[in-house]
Homo-oligomer: A and B are copies of this chain.
Amino acid sequence: MSVPRYAYLGPAGTFTEAALRQVVGPDEALYIPQVDVVSAIEAVRSGEADFAVVAIESTVEGGVTATLDSLAVGEPLVLLREVLVPVDFTLAAAPGTVLADVRRVAAHPHAWVQCRRWLAAHLPGAVHVPATSNTAPGALIADSLAVAVAFAPVGDRVAPLQLGFDAALVPPAAVESYGLEVLAEHVADNPSLVTRFVVVGRPGEVPSATGADKTTLDVHLPSNDAGALLTMLEQFAVRGVNLSRIESRPVGDSLGRYSFSIDAEGHIAEERMGEALMGLHRVCPHVRFLGSYPRADDVRAVVRIGTSDRDFRDAREWLGQLRDGRAH
């Protein structure tokens, strides 16, 4: 059969899987779990998968800088779609456990940070047993292996310990995946947080412009001079293109040289974005286009005066007349 194949940070129950389920149901696609986002992205490059779903902006799933770096080099890939998943954790345990019994909580360090206030209020003496991922504790519970290895002070040194744990902070979807008992739901301190995921694919037809799009780029600066970053940003500003994200990433070979990962509001098919991209291409030593795709939040770009497609076409027509000697 020819269902599309999606690589993602697995296993079942991860936030990434929740993102993937928003994109395509498990009946209509082959889900191919991967151990990390780099592997998920490489699976597309190698042809093992058609698409990858990876976190690109997140405080709980990790993988963001790895995502940016993996997309920035190697065979070109593009982003095709954006998916938002709420940051929501469930405190879960093996069937039969009750909250009062919980002393040790397995959690990925990021998860632990996101739930600190809840834990301080409801499990004040709880010990953190760090986990490799958000779903690993669930899987361990499911296999009756509720034991993880951590490091604890022994005298003034530390030693590895096999630490049992009584409960775990897991994504909501992991409860069903691993047959866990829910001790408390929605324990993340900030209920409005979301993680942003993207669907990555091989270059091809660009998704049509919707008026509420993003364009993702990786741009190297022409120099490290004081004004180089300003010069680059002016390429957007002068065409009225707003940025919704900008992150500097060290260029692989040393600290002190940076590339910029950028989300710009708008679509490559739009005139203002096209001219901004051409400007970057002219003055920056390296510009990688990583796709134009609909925004998950459906917020339409603000089109400033003089920057609509019609304004650009009018200006082009006017210039053509001037060049033909019909002055105004």
Contacts and interface: CB of A to CB of B under 8 A. Distances in A.
Interface of A: 10-12, 30-31, 33, 35-36, 38, 57, 59, 62, 64-66, 69, 76-78, 84, 109-110, 113, 128, 130-132, 136, 139-140, 142-143, 145, 148-151, 153, 156-160, 162, 190, 192-194, 196, 203-206, 222, 224-227, 229-230, 233-248, 250, 252-256, 258, 268-269, 274-275, 277-279, 281-283, 288-291, 297, 304-307, 311-312, 314-316, 318-319, 322-323, 325-328
Contacts of A157: 11-12, 33
A156 B30 contact: yes
A161 to B, nearest CB: 9
A245 B229 CA distance: 11
Q: Assembly of this chain: how many copies?
A: 4
Contacts of A318: 278, 281
Contacts of A306: 282-283
Nearest to A141: B160
Contacts of A222: 305
Contact of A145 (B143, B160, B247, B254): B160
A109 B38 contact: yes
A11 B159 CA distance: 8
Chain A interface secondary structure, helix, strand, loop or mixed? mixed
A268 B322 contact: yes
Contacts of A193: 252-254
Nearest to A64: B65
A246 B11 CA distance: 34
B136 A145 contact: no
A269 to B, nearest CB: 6
Contact of A151 (B59, B139, B192): B139
B130 A35 contact: yes
Contacts of A62: 62
Given A140-B149, A274-B323, A226 B236 contact: yes
A308 B149 CA distance: 55
Nearest to A222: B305
Contacts of A319: 268, 274, 277-278, 281
Contacts of A151: 10-11, 33, 35, 136, 139
B241 A238 contact: no
A227 B237 contact: yes
A243 to B, nearest CB: 7
A184 to B, nearest CB: 22
A209 to B, nearest CB: 11
A35 B109 contact: yes
A263 to B, nearest CB: 10
Contacts of A327: 76-78, 203, 288-291
Contacts of A149: 132, 136, 139-140, 145, 148
Given A139-B160, A304-B226, A314-B281, A248 B245 contact: yes
